[in-house]
Amino acid sequence: MQARPSLPIGLFDSGMGGLTVLKALATTLPSEHLLYLGDTARLPYGTKGRETIIRYTLAAAGKLVARGVKMLVIACNTATANALPVVQAKFAPLPVLGVVEPGARAAVQASVSGRIVVIGTEATIRSDVYAKAIHALRPDAITSAKACTLFVSMAEEGMMQGRLVEDICRYYLDDIFGAEARTPKPDTMILGCTHFPLLKTALERVVGGDVVVVDPAATVATGVREELIALDLINTEKGEGTSHFMTTDNQERFARTGSLFLGRTLTVEEIELVDL
């Protein structure tokens, strides 16, 4: 199918985290139609092996392509880190964008000292993809990384603030930002999972106000806009764009948790149950 400006942008995530990217896209490109798929039946991807992540990501991307989209956005750091080149090759010439490179670029621009830490899922951290992207932009950067496995479940449960949330954040990050940290602290931290922005307030309290916390979602939205302009695929139809949501499991839970990510009430009637 040849891409047309009026077709939607397809977004995929293993769960609800990619809704932070959808929200940024709706703000940056209000006339664009958005088609979102959250593979909640297989969540989390971050603890899976690379081949499994690639298989799941290809299936989800195929579902979106079959619906008719003009661009794919892999709004999941784990899927981007492990499957982006495979998806790009499979569905060429359809443009396929991920979230890692925009996040790395934003962090490099924000960091003064060049000390940057990435927090994400096990699979994202294991891939080392952020460090590679950062060093490609700033070879002298000093990078570190930390897998924060529980953060995905916390975000999906709507656990965003409070003493327990902050205690769990400290459990993961005290060796980097705590009083007993052995090396100079990073001045920039990348939220290397699209679920993590829901914990941003708690994380900022834990790491301190002098650390820049980078949420790649806004940078991804800017990258999507630039790509659409370059390909002459900006939707020029009058009126506000629409958003359609699909999930592979439990529409009620998707609506409840998705409302937290979007900052508005999401109803079950807006969500389609699909099978991959």
Given 154, 193, 214, 255, the catalytic residue = 193
- Our answer to whether residue 148 is catalytic in this structure is no
Residue with tokens 């070879």: 139
The CATH number linked to 27 is: 3.40.50.1860
Residues 267 and 206 occupy one common structural domain: no
Task: Tell me whether residue 246 is in a domain.
Answer: yes
Task: Tell me whether residue 243 is in a domain.
Answer: yes
- What pLDDT was estimated at residue 265? 95
- What pLDDT was estimated at residue 1? 55
Structural domain count, the chain: 2
Residues 111 and 169 occupy one common structural domain: yes
- What pLDDT was estimated at residue 156? 85
Beta-bridge mates of residue 118: 145, 190
- Our answer to whether residue 193 is catalytic in this structure is yes
Given 37, 76, 97, 141, the catalytic residue = 76
Residues 115 and 212 occupy one common structural domain: yes
Question: Interior CA angle at 64 toward 63 and 70, to 5°?
Answer: 150
Of the candidates 216, 236, 258, which is a domain's last residue? 216
CA dist., res. 133 & res. 62, Å (int):
27
Task: Tell me whether residue 120 is in a domain.
Answer: yes
Residues 199 and 228 occupy one common structural domain: no
Residues 111 and 186 occupy one common structural domain: yes
Task: Tell me whether residue 179 is in a domain.
Answer: yes
Tens-binned pLDDT, residue by residue, of the chain (276 aa): 568 999 999 999 999 999 999 999 999 999 999 999 999 999 889 999 999 999 999 999 999 999 999 999 999 999 999 999 999 999 999 999 999 999 999 999 999 999 999 999 999 999 999 999 999 999 999 999 999 999 999 998 889 989 999 999 999 999 999 887 877 999 999 999 999 999 999 999 999 999 999 998 889 999 999 999 999 999 999 899 999 999 999 999 999 999 999 999 999 999 999 999
Beta-bridge mates of residue 272: 246
At position 116, the amino acid (one-letter code) is I
Residues 172 and 242 occupy one common structural domain: no
pLDDT digits (tens, 9 = 90+) for 42-85: 988 999 999 999 999 999 999 999 999 999 999 999 999 999 99
Look up the domain containing 29 and give its range.
Answer: 9-98+218-273
